[in-house]
Amino acid sequence: MKRILFSSLLVLSFLFAQAQPPAGDANVGDSYGATFKVEEAVSLQDVAKKLKGGSAVPEQMQITAKVLDVCPKKGCWLKLELSDGETATVKMKDYGFFLPVAAIGKKVVVNGAVTLKTVSVAEQKHYAEDAKKSQAEIDAIKEPKQEIRVLASGIQIVQ
Distances (CA, A) of 78 to 34, 75, 143: 17, 7, 21
What pLDDT is attached to residue 79?
94
Task: Please report, in tens digits, the pLDDT of each residue of the chain (159 residues total).
Answer: 566 645 544 444 444 445 566 777 889 999 999 999 999 999 999 999 999 888 888 999 999 999 999 988 888 899 999 977 889 999 999 999 999 999 999 999 999 999 999 989 998 898 888 888 899 999 999 999 989 999 999 999 999
Q: What residue segments make up the domains of the chain, in order of their start?
A: 21-157
The alpha carbons of the chain give a radius of gyration, in whole angstroms, of: 18
Select from 3.30.70.270, 3.20.20.70, 2.40.50.140, 3.40.50.300 the CATH code of 21-157: 2.40.50.140
What pLDDT is attached to residue 12?
45
User: Whole-angstrom Cα distance, residue 150 to residue 39?
Assistant: 18
